[in-house]
Amino acid sequence: MKTSTQKARARAAAGTVGLVLALAACSSGQAPEGGSAPAAGGGSDGGPIEIVYLQKQGDQQYFVDQADGAKAAAAEIGDVTVTVVNLGTDSNKAISELDAAIARGVDGIIMVAPDQAIGPQVIEKATAAGIPLLASDDSLEDADGNPAPFVGFNGTAMGNSVGEKAAELYADAGWDAADTRIIATGKMDLSVCVQRLDGATDAFGEAVDPVPEVIELGNDNSATDAMNRAGAVITAHQDVANWVVVGCNDETETGVVTALQNAGVSPDHIIGVGLGAYLTCKDWSAGQETGNKAALFISGRDVGAAAVDAMVAQVRDGVALPAETIADTHMVDADNWESEGVVCT
């Protein structure tokens, strides 16, 4: 029977949950070249390990799944506790919870930061305390621009997949650029959103000529804010017949699609391609006609499990945190979302 340490090492080495691990980097301040930073807690001695997972918007389904995946991985490894903290969108809470975790002497810290601007402060505090830090979902950099180890997705590649699918559906629909608009929506000051939306519109533009006008719609990455802000855009473009919607996440895409449908736009005149699939699948599950035509499926469980695997390997075995752990994604629609394992919420 494998020990808990062997399990963690095997999971990381085998790349379970479909993840690709890049070469480890030493530029984050977490570990010297060829080695690893010492853990502050008792895990490095083979004892119990406590990891704190600090999450922005922890009530969103993706992050709920992420927390579940992290805890499941910890239970499989054994003698590992994962404490999950919902930060909402509060950067001040992120710092105070970070300070509390450091004061408690936890063995590892994983953070989905509410604001990437706190990266230098977060990295400095963790490094000074000798506690390994892993950025989850949204990258973090120190004051010199050096990135912390990261687990999540390739934002540009994700956006490319969304744009390619939207372009395919647009071509199949036979729409004209003159009477079509593309809404690209999300939190415009978040780097991963910029990467995803730029990737989507770039890929669409490469596949379609001429390209419909793109309308950028900023919001706080919630469905409610996206829906509310879309109202003004719809009102100002009453002459538009067809709409393509791409978003930073499922919340923003479904929020805009809902706003369009509430304004009387027929689902036949909406091509919405989500990013997450956990919300776009609701209409599919109900058998409803919808403007949500497809979605890129991303698994929060996979990211959470991978983050814990990497952190335990670092704390218990001294394996340096990989510079990047990139999760796989794939496209789903009303016909295959269930067979592909999407959990509809």
Token couple for 166:
């939207």
What per-residue string of b and e applies to 273-288 under the rule 16 or more CB within 10 Å gives b? bbbbbbbbbebbeeee
pLDDT at 100 over 60: yes
Q: Which residue has the tokens 């095997």?
A: 10
Determine the Cα–Cα distance for residues 303 and 111; give it in Å rounded to an integer. Answer: 12
Helix axes 91-104, 119-129, angle to 10 degrees: 0
How do residues 286-307 score in pLDDT, each as one tens digit? 999 999 999 999 989 999 999 9
**CB 156, CB 194: distance < 8 Å:** no
Reduce the DSSP state of residue 164 to 3 states and report it: helix
The pLDDT of residue 61 is 87
What pLDDT is recorded for position 172? 98
Lookup: tokens for 251: 């919340």
Please give the pLDDT value at position 44.
57
Residues 68 and 63: their CA atoms lie apart, in Å, by 9
d(CA 284, CA 281): 5
Looking at every residue in the chain, the average pLDDT score rounds to 89
**pLDDT tens column, 174-219:** 999 999 999 999 999 999 999 999 999 999 999 999 999 999 999 9
Residue 341: the pLDDT is 87
Lowest-confidence region among 75-84, 92-101, 325-334: 325-334
Nearest residue to 249 via CA among 207, 204, 200, 308: 200
pLDDT for 4: 42
- Stated as kind and residue range, the H or E segment containing 108 is strand 108-112
- Please check the confidence at residue 85 and state whether its pLDDT lies above 80: yes
Sheet containing 150-152: which strands, arranged edge to edge? 19-21, 324-327, 150-152, 133-136, 108-112, 49-56, 80-88
Residue 197, exposed/middle/buried by CB under 10 A (0-12, 13-18, 19+)?
A: buried
Q: CA 332 to CA 280: how far, in whole Å? A: 10
Which pLDDT does position 345 carry in this prediction?
A: 72
Residue with tokens 């699918």: 165
Q: What is the mean pLDDT of residues 320-329?
A: 93
Above 60 in pLDDT, residue 3? no
* Alpha carbons within 13 A on the beta-carbon side of 117: 7
Q: What is the pLDDT of residue 327?
A: 87
Tens digits of per-residue pLDDT, 19-48? Answer: 433 333 333 333 333 333 333 455 656 689
Please write the tens of the pLDDT for every residue from 241-275. 999 999 999 999 999 999 999 999 999 999 999 99
> Which residue did the predictor score with more confidence, 42 or 112?
112
pLDDT value, residue 17: 37
**pLDDT at residue 67 is higher than 90:** yes
Radius of gyration of the chain (CA): 21
Considering only 10-19, 176-185, 223-232, 299-308, which range has the smallest mean pLDDT? 10-19
- Rounded alpha-carbon distances, angstroms, from residue 321 to 12, 32, 52, 170, 248: 11, 11, 16, 42, 27
Residue linked to tokens 């006609």: 289
According to DSSP, the residues that pair with 183 across neighbouring strands are 215, 245
314 pLDDT more than 90: yes
Sign of the torsion angle spanned by Cα atoms 216, 220, 221, 225: negative
